[in-house]
Structure 1
Amino acid sequence: MLSADARTLYVSVGSASNVGEHGMDEEKRRAAILAIDLRTGRERLYASGLRNPVGMAWAPGTNTLWAAVNERDQLGDDIAPDYLVGVRDGEFYGWPYSYYGKQDPRHANTKRELLATTLLPDVAVGPHAAALGVAFAKGTSAAQQVAYVARHGSWNRSAFIGYDVLAVPFANGRPTAAPQPFLTGFVANEKSGEVYGRPVSVQTRDDGAIFVVDDAGDTVWLVRRTA
């Protein structure tokens, strides 16, 4: 993701493991967003503790980089939620030691002091939903913004979640309400595991139209108003 002045490239790097089980030496420069100065090639750690910050987008009219983050597994169906977060320069977001301000039991006696300075996510978008692409609606006023989040869908829950696109209401660069369903209907049969598609990424157009890439259905969907 390029900065507005095209001088900095922001690169998301996922973790090498679920919760650092291979040792934290394997996680150097991982579970993070890196900032690379395109003039000098110098790299720095922009934010860390983000298990897998997949999609990124700038909130219109701001300098805030938002990321859709996939969280950890093996703590049950409902822990821990994937999330959308306005990433702050130099901050730490918990992985692998904690999630949403709670210590991960697999790191119960490790780095507990970090809880006091760990930042929390802004918007939960469902546990194991595999939140991937994110994009903001174009051509909206500062008081009526929307962020769209593509959820690829869960594979490790007893009941499906995701397989859709959510709309998160924003105003003046900040979320104002819980996510709402925007594009659904991709689950054909939950019992058999059959689905029609799995949204991966989302892009918006100046006229309000939205493109959704679906890698299971091998389709790019165009969603737009009919009136």
Structure 2
Amino acid sequence: MDAMARLTAIVGGTMVLLRRRSAPKTHAIGQTPAIPEAKTQGIMTLKMPSAHGWEPGHLPTVAPGLKVNAFAEKLDHPRWIEVLPNGDVLIAESKQRPRPPRSFMDRATIATMARARAIGDSADRITLWRDADGDGVAETRTVFVENQNQPFGMALVDGTFYVGNTDGVVAFDYRDGMTALEGPGRKIVDFKPGGHWTRSLIVSPDRTKIYAGVGSLTNIGDNGMEEEEGRAAIWEIDIASGKARVFASGLRNAVGMAWEPTTGALWTVVNERDGLGDETPPDYLTSVQDGGFYGWPYCYWGKTVDDRVPQDAAMVAKAIQPDYALGGHTASLGLCWMPAGTLKGFGDGMVIGQHGSWNRSTLSGYRMIFVPFENGRPSGPPRDILSGFLSADEKLAYGRPVGVAIGADGKSLLMADDVGDIIWRVTDA
């Protein structure tokens, strides 16, 4: 695999240099983004920094008026965060597992992901971290649940704790203050595993339903749409009956979800398709309608047809245009609503953890951003909260942002960093 990684770096570096000459100079961001015309890539751009981690004393760059510290350290690929009512912080530790490559390009992609520590043995556990003295640093760690199947999303509802594994949702009995779940749990819904493997969870405001993000198996339905059935969607699970249905579809990889309190709408961040250029199409932040279809794989950003895909005119005709573009290949994963007053200088809006690109000539993402909202809608350009996760030459990643959550005190922001193996905490300076 080391030899393949070196070969990939050489070939990929050549393609990056060639494509950088014609790469767009601006990012496709906002409600009315300028999205360049698609350019199909015969050999897909492969560019990802090597995982490096943080040296002692080295911290992410934080927005003016704020400060950052490590809330928890020495995790094993922390991905998602759930803050319990008593202030305990739960962290899902998991990663993509290696699989046999199906082609040379697939082999090259796997080698690149391995170099970035984005693929490998998965810890398959959720750990509980407790900051008993309230100083912003967790003192104790316990294993909350282990031997799961790539756990990611978490939710607590009325004495039941739910875990979003890649193959479905498992429920456990929960008592206030528990530091470890008991028993094997019970499966309440099955999902097709693998592919875009993360299964994020969010509870409805009335506490009667759980919504789960289930990503596509492939980039653009490469193995046929039968294998994609039930994927590229957000599912709704009725807690009382256990019945599950597709709530919205055509969302290639909807990961983080959040409720916007003014309208009560569900919002999500979506990772769009690869292989059409640095900024084409952009990842996006959007509200999600019950029964809505958002284009994948037939089209993107509304009704822009992807001519690599066997077409369905009826599906294109009903595709909904997303609300807010986040730039090409930012890998926007984490999402939470941050009310005004949480951090100095920031009003109401959405916080997004951008894991960072691999399919573009100049890297994008690798930061935690804030999108301001007014009257239930995005109202301005994004602002950095945390940055500095990349070396200046883009060869090293000190960290990669993933899940985000408001701290139990309501005055802090937590972010999972799966390369630094750290949970960062941002507060007023």
Q: TM-score, normalised by structure 2?
A: 0.50
Equivalent residue for 1:196, pick from 386, 398, 402: 398
Equivalent residue for 2:287, pick from 57, 66, 86: 86
Paired with 2:340 and 2:273, the residues of 1 have a C-alpha distance of 35
Q: Aligned partner of 2:225: which letter? A: M
Name which structure has the greater RCO, CA cutoff 8 Å, separation 6+: 2
Residue in 2 that maps onto 1:26: 227
Paired with 1:2 and 1:99, the residues of 2 have a C-alpha distance of 28
Which stretch has the larger CA shift, 171-180 or 211-220? 171-180
Question: For the Cα contact (< 8 Å) 1:196–1:216, is it kept in 2?
Answer: yes
Q: Aligned partner of 1:225: which letter? A: D
Is 1:118 the counterpart of 2:319 in the alignment?
yes
Correspondence 1:55-204 to 2 at 5 A = 55-101=256-302, 102-107=304-309, 110-138=311-339, 140=341, 144-191=347-394, 193-204=395-406
Q: Aligned partner of 1:215: which letter? A: D
Q: CA deviation at 1:183?
A: 1.2
SS in 2 for 1:77: coil
Deviation per CA, 1:170-210: give whole Å up to 9, x if none.
Answer: 0122111122222111111434x201110001111353311
Question: For the Cα contact (< 8 Å) 1:166–1:181, is it kept in 2?
Answer: yes
Deviation per CA, 1:33-84: give whole Å up to 9, x if none.
Answer: 0101111111111000000001011112432111110000011211111111
User: Aligned in 2, Cα 1:139/1:76: closer, same or farther, shift over 3 Å?
Assistant: closer
User: 4+ residue stretches of structure 1 with deviation over 6 A?
Assistant: none
Paired with 2:317 and 2:359, the residues of 1 have a C-alpha distance of 31
Q: CA deviation at 1:140?
A: 4.9
SS in 1 for 2:415: strand
Question: For the Cα contact (< 8 Å) 1:33–1:48, is it kept in 2?
Answer: yes
SS in 2 for 1:67: strand
Paired with 2:272 and 2:411, the residues of 1 have a C-alpha distance of 30
* Structure 2: gaps (5+ residues): 1-201
Paired with 2:221 and 2:355, the residues of 1 have a C-alpha distance of 24
SS in 1 for 2:286: strand
Paired with 1:149 and 1:29, the residues of 2 have a C-alpha distance of 26
Q: Aligned partner of 1:39: which letter? A: A
Paired with 2:315 and 2:230, the residues of 1 have a C-alpha distance of 18
User: Aligned in 2, Cα 1:63/1:105: closer, same or farther, shift over 3 Å?
Assistant: same
SS in 2 for 1:15: coil
SS in 2 for 1:24: coil
Paired with 1:202 and 1:215, the residues of 2 have a C-alpha distance of 12
Paired with 2:418 and 2:393, the residues of 1 have a C-alpha distance of 18
Residue in 2 that maps onto 1:217: 420
Which stretch has the larger CA shift, 48-57 or 165-174? 165-174
Question: For the Cα contact (< 8 Å) 1:137–1:208, is it kept in 2?
Answer: no
Paired with 1:28 and 1:137, the residues of 2 have a C-alpha distance of 34
SS in 1 for 2:373: strand
Is 1:38 the counterpart of 2:236 in the alignment?
no
Q: CA deviation at 1:139?
A: 5.1
Residue in 2 that maps onto 1:8: 209
Paired with 1:4 and 1:42, the residues of 2 have a C-alpha distance of 18
SS in 2 for 1:86: strand
Paired with 1:147 and 1:208, the residues of 2 have a C-alpha distance of 15
Q: Aligned partner of 1:76: which letter? A: G
Paired with 2:349 and 2:381, the residues of 1 have a C-alpha distance of 11
Q: Aligned partner of 1:207: which letter? A: G
The structure with the larger Rg is: 2
Residues matched between the structures, number: 222
Deviation per CA, 1:129-178: give whole Å up to 9, x if none.
Answer: 1100101113559xx41111100011121111111011100012211112
% identical equivalent positions: 46
Residue in 1 that maps onto 2:70: none
Paired with 2:307 and 2:412, the residues of 1 have a C-alpha distance of 44
